[in-house]
Amino acid sequence: MSETFSLQLCKKYGPVCTIWLANKPVVILSGYQTIKDALVLQGEEFNGRAQYPFLVKATNGYGVMVSSGHRWRELRRFSIMTLKNFGMGRRSVEERVQEEARSLVKAFNEYEGGLFNPRELLCNAVANVICSIMFGQRFEYKDPDFLLLYNAVTDVFIVLNSPIGQLYNLFPGILDRLPGKHRDMFALLQDTQAYVKREADTRIKHLDVNSTPQDYIEAFMIKMIQEKDVPNSEFHYDNLLGSVWNLFSAGTETTSSTLRQMILMMIKHPHIQEIDEVIGPDGSPSMDDRSKMPYTDAVINEVQCNMDLTPTSVPHKVTVDTEFKNYHNPKDTMVPLLSSVLSDHKLWRNPGNFDPENFLDEEGRFKKNDAFLAFGLGKRNCLGEGLARMELFLFTSSLLQRFTFVGTRPPEEIDTTPKCCSFGWLPRVYDCYTKLRV
């Protein structure tokens, strides 16, 4: 469903409108107040996850992102708590991102003066941060285990956006019987799950339930042991493998695409490359610097608004028969949520245009906007938001500290409009040069 099509429908029929896919109703919600009423006031009913055949097949319905009800609540609570604990642990998430930012700067440095496409380097860095949290270590980019995980995310994404991937979501029964790239993709996912299972098995040998877990897998294994006698516990291998893959896939393409669009915007608008004079040439950017760098923060938020990565969010479903704004929605109805609020003329200064001032007050201080829904809203919002924001800030400020980015054409000729794919809006493919700043 392209955003233009759904937006046109909502403009014509209002903020709650139904379309039929095959014989199933799909209820599209748009507008800030409508989305807020559904996700916050009636969150219990609207917080189910719509079942995409591809996602169901990939994880058999296990894992935090694809599940609903009791399973989702348990896995979500655990995942949020674990990420939070790592934030406060001995080796904090911030240190892991900073370490990866240094490796990213080094990798960009190797291209100094030469033309290159930043896609792979950015994706490597972002995937490696998740590796560090999941497996307790970062990998060299050529490590076969890293390549297995990396390919599982990037190849799956490519297939999902291809005609065969889209057809799979419509006719899974038929496609399961036909050869094609979708089959290679499921085989690749099985290899990844086998790798995660091996990692879990190596941990079980020396696991001490009373010690502080060093990574997500270890924390999950401890929970499995603690709940081994709890009937219907959600802490078992299937949910571990599903959740690791969910976090990995949800966190990689999203954050790296945003960083890619960020660099493109910097090339188009060179003045935004003037990083605030806070860190200086030698310091290592940290999250403490963020409040002192409102302009950088505003640019990052505006890039997210402007690109509108997931225009229909990750579609929800209603968990029970639900009355909403005088409409009856039968249980399991799919509910995409249109982020058209990101371009609403009533909520933004200059919608459709790139304008960091949207996030600054008269004194130049960072100013939040409630209509910023890039990470969703309510109890099912992005559970990696804190990590994503940290990565966006630390990677952006570390790169800007060292480099100026230049494109292959004059800024006024560069088209920054993202391209539509089945998943959302992605940056255009581009090459760039870096010039050393210091």
Residues in the interface with ligand HEM (CB under 6 A) total 26
Closest to ligand HEM by CB, 10 vs 307, is 307
CB 47, CB 378: distance < 8 Å: yes
Residue 125 interacts with ligand HEM (CB under 6 A): yes or no:
no
Among 27, 122, 127, 247, contact with ligand HEM (rule: CB under 6 A): 247
Give yes or no for residue 153 binding ligand HEM (CB under 6 A): no
64 binds ligand HEM per the rule CB under 6 A:
yes
Q: Residue 48 or 175: which CB sits closer to ligand HEM? A: 48
We find the least distance from the C-beta atom of residue 161 to ligand HEM, in angstroms, to be 17
Of 212 and 381, the one with the shorter C-beta distance to ligand HEM is 381
Nearest to ligand HEM of 133, 293 (CB atom): 133
Query: By CB under 6 A, what part of segment 361-390 binds ligand HEM?
Result: 374-376, 380-384, 387-388
Q: Which residues are CB-neighbours of 373 under 8 A, at least 6 positions away? A: 32, 35, 313, 337, 339, 341, 342
Nearer to ligand HEM, 372 or 403 (CB): 372
Contact 148, 192 (CB under 8 A): yes
Per CB under 6 A, the segment of 102-110, 246-254, 323-331, 429-437 that binds ligand HEM is: 246-254
Q: Answer yes or no: are the C-beta atoms of 208 and 91 closer than 8 Å.
A: no
**210-218, 221-229, 250-258, 358-366 -> range binding ligand HEM (CB under 6 A):** 250-258
The span from the CA of 31 to the CA of 47, in Å, is 18
Question: What is d(CA 433, CA 118) in angstroms, rounded to the nearest whole number?
Answer: 10
Q: Which of 82, 129, 414, 116 is nearest to 254 (CA)?
A: 129
| DSSP one-letter code for 366 | B
Crossing angle of the two packed helices 119-135 and 93-109, in degrees rounded to 10: 150
Q: Is 30 in the site for ligand HEM (CB under 6 A)?
A: no
Q: What is the DSSP letter of 211?
A: S
> Between residue 195 and residue 234, which ones bind ligand HEM under the rule CB under 6 A?
none
Q: Which of residues 299-358 bind ligand HEM (CB under 6 A)?
A: 309-310, 313-314, 316
Beta strands at 316-317 and 48-49: parallel, antiparallel or unpaired: antiparallel
255 near ligand HEM (CB under 6 A): yes
d(CA 30, CA 195): 41
Does the protein bind ligand HEM through residue 258 (CB under 6 A)? Answer: yes
Residue nearest to ligand HEM (CB): 384
CB 163, min distance to ligand HEM, A: 24
The alpha carbon of residue 383 and the mean position of all alpha carbons in its chain are separated, in whole angstroms, by: 9
Kindly write down the DSSP assignment for every residue of 150-204, as one continuous string. HHHHHHHHHHHTSHHHHHHHH-HHHHTTS-SHHHHHHHHHHHHHHHHHHHHHHHH
Q: Which strand (E) or helix (H) includes residue 103?
A: helix 93-109
Question: Considering only residues 76, 96, 203, 317, which one is a binding residue for ligand HEM as defined by CB under 6 A?
Answer: 76
Residue from 98, 193, 246, 416 binding ligand HEM (CB under 6 A): 246
420 known ligand binder: no
Residues at the interface with ligand HEM (CB under 6 A): 49, 64-65, 76, 246-247, 250-251, 254-255, 258, 309-310, 313-314, 316, 374-376, 380-384, 387-388
Enumerate the known binding-site residues for heme: 382
Enumerate the known binding-site residues: 382
